[in-house]
C-alpha cells in the first residue's frame, strides 16, 4: 500500500518491565461489569434512543444482571437529564444496582450533573479529561502541568458537590486517550487525582484506563495496565477498570489480557455497540469465560431474545457471524463438520460425561437458548451425509444405515446445488419420501401370507402392469422368501441384501420403519424404505422400494412375459 511511511506507532511502553500477566493461563473470576450501552453506546447511534427506549433498555440490562450501569451524560441534553431524574424519582433503580454518570472537568457541567443525581441511592460519578500527546498538542494546546490542573479542578469540584448533594457517591477518573499517553504522565495524573480523593477501604475510587483508541497489540495494553496497577497510590483502595474500544479489532483480547494484568472491572456494551468500530463486547467476554467454566455472573441463557430487543431499540444489526449471538455461529454447512458434530452429539447421548467436548462447538448452544435442530446443522450443496442424516433423525425419527445416509446425502446435495439454496428439514424429508419410501412402481406390493407348507413358505401378491399376480417363495424367513420370488421367478438380479429396522420414534408411534439395500450385479447399491404399522410389512415395502429403484434406474426387464409399461 502507498503512504505507509506516514504511519508510526503512537503508543508508549511502560518504562519498566511489566510482564507478570504472561504467567497466567486464563481468567479465574468475573470482573465487575459496567454497561455503557446507555451512554457510550447510545451516543454512537444514528438516532439516539428516546426516553422511553432508554427506560426499556435499562430494564433489559437489569434482566441480564448488570449491577453497574452508566446511564448517560446528564449535562449533555435534556433527554439525558430527564432519563436520570425518571430513574430516581420513579424508584426504578434496584437497591443493589449502581448507576454511573459521565462529566467533563468543568464546573457548570459538574454542577448540572449533581443536580440530576439529587436523591440517588448510589452512583458513580465519572470524571475524565484527555491526556494523550495528540490531544495535548492539537486539541487543548496545553502543557502537561495545565492538563493536570484540569484533572485537579474536576476532582476537587466532585468532592465539593458530592458533599452538598443528597445521595451516596463513588468517584471514577479516566485519563481519556490513555493508550496515546506516556505511561509516566498517565500515572502522574491518576496519582494526583487519587491524592485529592484519598480513597479508603469503605470508599474506594475507580481508576479507569480506556483504550479510547486501540493503538497497539493487546499484549502492550496488558503491560500498560500492569504498570499502572503496580504504581498507583492507595492501590488496595483503588478499583482498576478497563474501557477498550475495538479500532484494531482486538477489543476482546485487550480486555482479557488487561484482566490478566490486574484489572478488576470492565466497561463495555452488548454486542460491542459504540463509536467507530465500537466498545468491547461484553457478551463475548462473558461467554468466553463461561466456556472455561468460569461463571460470568451475567445471564445470557436467552441470547436470541436479548439480541432481538437490542436490535429493536438500537436499530443496529448483529452480524450473522458475531460470536455466540449471530444467526450462524453454531451452524455447520460443511460435511466434515456436520459429521463430527453429529457423532459428538450421539457420543454424549451414549456416554455419561461431565464436560462439554463436542467437536466444533465451543459451548452447548442450548445453554444460551439456541436450538440443535435450527441452529447447529443446516444443509446446502457443501453438506454431508452425517448432517443430513442427523436432521432426519432429529426431526422425523428416521435412523438410516450409514451407507444409505451416504447415498441420500448425494441426492440432497445435488438438489441444493440445482436450486442454489439451503435445503430445509421438511424439504429433506420430502426428498427422502420421494426417493425411497414405499415405492410401488413398476412392482406394487399388495400383500403376503404364509402357506400351510414349509415353515417360511410365503405367497406374495404383486401388481405388475395393472395386473395382480401371486407367487410362492421359500427362504430362511418371510423377507428372504419374498426376495427369492423377485430373484428367481421375476428374474431380477441382485445380491447382498442389507436390512435394518426400528420403531418410528417421532410422529406416529404405531409405525415401524425398515431400510433395505441391495447390490446390483455391477456393484451399485440401491436403497429403499418401508413404513407400515406392521414391522414385517414395512420390511417387504422397503425391499420393493429398493428393487423398484434399481429396476427403474437400470431399465431392467422383469421376468418372462412381463413388460415395464408403467414406470414411476
Question: What DSSP string runs through 293-306?
Answer: T---SS--TTHHHH
Distance separating alpha carbons of residues 543 and 520, to the nearest angstrom: 13
- The C-alpha atoms of residue 332 and residue 341 are separated, in whole angstroms, by 8
* pLDDT at site 567: 35
Tell me what pLDDT residue 408 has. 92
Peptide bond into 442 cis (omega under 30): yes
Radius of gyration of the chain from its Cα atoms, rounded to whole angstroms: 35
* The predicted structure's pLDDT at residue 353: 84
Residue 444 has pLDDT above 90, yes or no: yes
- pLDDT at position 508, please? 58
For residue 499, what is the enclosing H or E element?
Answer: strand 495-503
Instruction: Read off the pLDDT band of 421 (50, 70, 90).
Output: confident
158 falls in which pLDDT band (50, 70, 90)? Answer: very high
* Structure-model confidence comparison of residues 88 and 425, the more confident one: 88
Three-class HEC string of 413-465: HHHHHHHCCCECHHHHHHHHHHHHECCCCCEEEEEEEECCCCCCCEEEEEEEC
Q: How far is CA 158 from the centre of its chain?
A: 42
Q: Cα-flanking dihedrals φ and ψ of residue 395, to 5°?
A: -90, -35
Residue 2 in grid coordinates: 502507498
Is 420 annotated as a binding-site member? no
Say if residues 408 and 423 touch (Cβ distance below 8 Å): no
User: Of 357, 392, 358, 356, nearest to 373 (Cα)?
Assistant: 392
What is the reported pLDDT for 450?
86
Residue 243 among known ligand-binding residues: yes
CB 117 within 8 A of CB 103: no
pLDDT at 375: 67
Compute the average pLDDT of residues 300-329.
95
Query: For the chain, what is the mean pLDDT?
Result: 92
pTM: 0.80
- Report whether 472 contacts 486 (CB < 8 A): no
Domains detected in the chain? 34-313 (3.20.20.70), 335-434 (no CATH), 443-554 (3.30.160.270)
Query: For residue range 35-51, what is the model confidence (pLDDT) as tens digits?
Result: 999 999 999 999 999 99
Cell of 508: 406416529
Average pLDDT over residues 412-438: 87
Which grid coordinates belong to 271? 454486542
What separation in angstroms does the CA of 120 have from each of 39, 76, 88, 195, 478?
Answer: 18, 19, 6, 26, 83
Residue 454 has pLDDT above 70, yes or no: no
pLDDT, average across residues 502-510: 73
> Is 395 known as a binding-site position?
no
Residue 560 has pLDDT above 70, yes or no: no
Share of the chain above pLDDT 90, in %: 79
d(CA 71, CA 358): 40
Does 279 carry a binding-site annotation? Answer: yes
Out of 193-207, 285-299, 463-477, least confident range: 463-477
For 234-292, what is each residue's pLDDT tens digit?
999 999 999 999 999 999 999 999 999 999 999 999 999 999 999 999 999 999 999 99
Q: For residues 113, 114, 119 and 124, what is the CA-based torsion angle, rounded to 10 degrees?
A: 70
Does pLDDT of 373 surpass 80?
A: no
Contact 12, 18 (CB under 8 A): no
Specify the pLDDT at position 416.
77
Amino acid at each position: 500500500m502507498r503512504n505507509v511511511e506516514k504511519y508510526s506507532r503512537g503508543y508508549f511502553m511502560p518504562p519498566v518491565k511489566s510482564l507478570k500477566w504472561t504467567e497466567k493461563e486464563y481468567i479465574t473470576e468475573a470482573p465487575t461489569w459496567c454497561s455503557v450501552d446507555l451512554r457510550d453506546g447510545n451516543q454512537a447511534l444514528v438516532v439516539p434512543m428516546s426516553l422511553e427506549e432508554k427506560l426499556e433498555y435499562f430494564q433489559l440490562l437489569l434482566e441480564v444482571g448488570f449491577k453497574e450501569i452508566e446511564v448517560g451524560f446528564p449535562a449533555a441534553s435534556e433527554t439525558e437529564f430527564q432519563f436520570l431524574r425518571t430513574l430516581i424519582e420513579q424508584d426504578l433503580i434496584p437497591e443493589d444496582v449502581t448507576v454511573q454518570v459521565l462529566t467533563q472537568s468543568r464546573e457548570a457541567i459538574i454542577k448540572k450533573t449533581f443536580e440530576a443525581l439529587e436523591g440517588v441511592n448510589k452512583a458513580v460519578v465519572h470524571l475524565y479529561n484527555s491526556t494523550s500527546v495528540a490531544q495535548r498538542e492539537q486539541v487543548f494546546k496545553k502543557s502537561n502541568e495545565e492538563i493536570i490542573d484540569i484533572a485537579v479542578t474536576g476532582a476537587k469540584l466532585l468532592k465539593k458537590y458530592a458533599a452538598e448533594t443528597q445521595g451516596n457517591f463513588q468517584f471514577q477518573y479516566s485519563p481519556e486517550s490513555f493508550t496515546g499517553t506516556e505511561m509516566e504522565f498517565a500515572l502522574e495524573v491518576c496519582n494526583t487525582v487519587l491524592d485529592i480523593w484519598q480513597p479508603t477501604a469503605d470508599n474506594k475510587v475507580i481508576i479507569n484506563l480506556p483504550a479510547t483508541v486501540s493503538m497497539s497489540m493487546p499484549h502492550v495494553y496488558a503491560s500498560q495496565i500492569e504498570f499502572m496497577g503496580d504504581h498507583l497510590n492507595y492501590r488496595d483502595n483503588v478499583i482498576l477498570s478497563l474501557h477498550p474500544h475495538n479500532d484494531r479489532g482486538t477489543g476482546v483480547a485487550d480486555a482479557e489480557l488487561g484482566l490478566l494484568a490486574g484489572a478488576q472491572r470492565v466497561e463495555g456494551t452488548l454486542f460491542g455497540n459504540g463509536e467507530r468500530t465500537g466498545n468491547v463486547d461484553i457478551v463475548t467476554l462473558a461467554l468466553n469465560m463461561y466456556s472455561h467454566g468460569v461463571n460470568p455472573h451475567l445471564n445470557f441463557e436467552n441470547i436470541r431474545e436479548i439480541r432481538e430487543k437490542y436490535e429493536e431499540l438500537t436499530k443496529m444489526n448483529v452480524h450473522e457471524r458475531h460470536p455466540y449471538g449471530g444467526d450462524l455461529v453454531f451452524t455447520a454447512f460443511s460435511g466434515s463438520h456436520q459429521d463430527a458434530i453429529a457423532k459428538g452429539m450421539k457420543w454424549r447421548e451414549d456416554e455419561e460425561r461431565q464436560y462439554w467436548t463436542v467437536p466444533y462447538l465451543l459451548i452447548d448452544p442450548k445453554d444460551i437458548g439456541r436450538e440443535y435442530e435450527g441452529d447447529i446443522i443446516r444443509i446446502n450443496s457443501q453438506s454431508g451425509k452425517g448432517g443430513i442424516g442427523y436432521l432426519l433423525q432429529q426431526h422425523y425419527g428416521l435412523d438410516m444405515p450409514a451407507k444409505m445416509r451416504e447415498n441420500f446425502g448425494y441426492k440432497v446435495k445435488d438438489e441444493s446445488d440445482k436450486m442454489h439454496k439451503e435445503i430445509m428439514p421438511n424439504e429433506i424429508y420430502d426428498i427422502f419420501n420421494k426417493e425411497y419410501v414405499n415405492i410401488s412402481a413398476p412392482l406394487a406390493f399388495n400383500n403376503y401370507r404364509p402357506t400351510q407348507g414349509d415353515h417360511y413358505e410365503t405367497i406374495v401378491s404383486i401388481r405388475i402392469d395393472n395386473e395382480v399376480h401371486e407367487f410362492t417363495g421359500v427362504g430362511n424367513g418371510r423377507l428372504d422368501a419374498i426376495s427369492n420370488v423377485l430373484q428367481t421367478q421375476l428374474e431380477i438380479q441382485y445380491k447382498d441384501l442389507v436390512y435394518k429396522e426400528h420403531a418410528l420414534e417421532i410422529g406416529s408411534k404405531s409405525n415401524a420403519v425398515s431400510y433395505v439395500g441391495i447390490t446390483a450385479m455391477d456393484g451399485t447399491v440401491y436403497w429403499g424404505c418401508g413404513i407400515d404399522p406392521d414391522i414385517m410389512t414395512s420390511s417387504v415395502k422397503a425391499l420393493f422400494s429398493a428393487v423398484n429403484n434399481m429396476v427403474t434406474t437400470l431399465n431392467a426387464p422383469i421376468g418372462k412375459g412381463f413388460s415395464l409399461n408403467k414406470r414411476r
